Amino acid sequence: MSPTALLTRPDCAPSKADDIGVALGSMDTPIGQLNMAATSQGLVRIGFGYMEEMQDMMSELDELPLTMGQGDLGWLDDPIAQLREYFEGGRQRFDLTVDWRLSHGFYRRVLDALMTVDYGTTVSYGELARMAGSSRAARAVGTAMSTNPIPLVVPCHRVVRSDGLVGEYGGHPDVKAWLIEHERSNRS
């Protein structure tokens, strides 16, 4: 794991009951650096280093009520350990608490449905739309995938085009193809 820091907002008003701290960290993986953020409620964000810098992720998290010194770097221990196991081929299901505060409404329903797609399998955008209860919303499912705050753990890489091609994945279809093949070759 790379160096980590607490994300805090020293300019905040005095602490309120719903204020939280956020722990930030990063790790190197076979698909590049992953940046992560966790709160006391769970893993809130994973970002691909090739797409966004830690500062970009911090800007997104700036919408959350943050307070000085309340983040705990230990909140990242389980996510990092389980992601390592995943990339080593030993983990097929994540057992993590997720902080869903960055996902709402229809997009959240889509991500909930996506969590039922098994390791090593894929579904089309249309199939996932049906699973989420909106059979005609395949394009909206694509948008939900592109705004998924917790890729890998919420496996948007398992959603492919209806013609079977992998499609985009943060501008890197080769990463998506690698993840699909990784899971297929490690499926038990």
Look at residues 88, 123, 179 and name the one whose alpha carbon lies nearest to residue 169: 179
Single out the catalytic residue among 102, 156, 160, 166. 156
Q: Which residues pair with 46 in a beta bridge?
A: 36
Q: Give 85-152 as a DSSP string.
A: HHHTT--SS----B--TT--HHHHHHHHHHTTSPTT--EEHHHHHHHTT-TT-HHHHHHHHHT-SSBT
Determine whether 12 is an active site residue: no
Neighbours of 60 (CB within 10 A): 15
Catalytic residue numbers, as ranges: 156
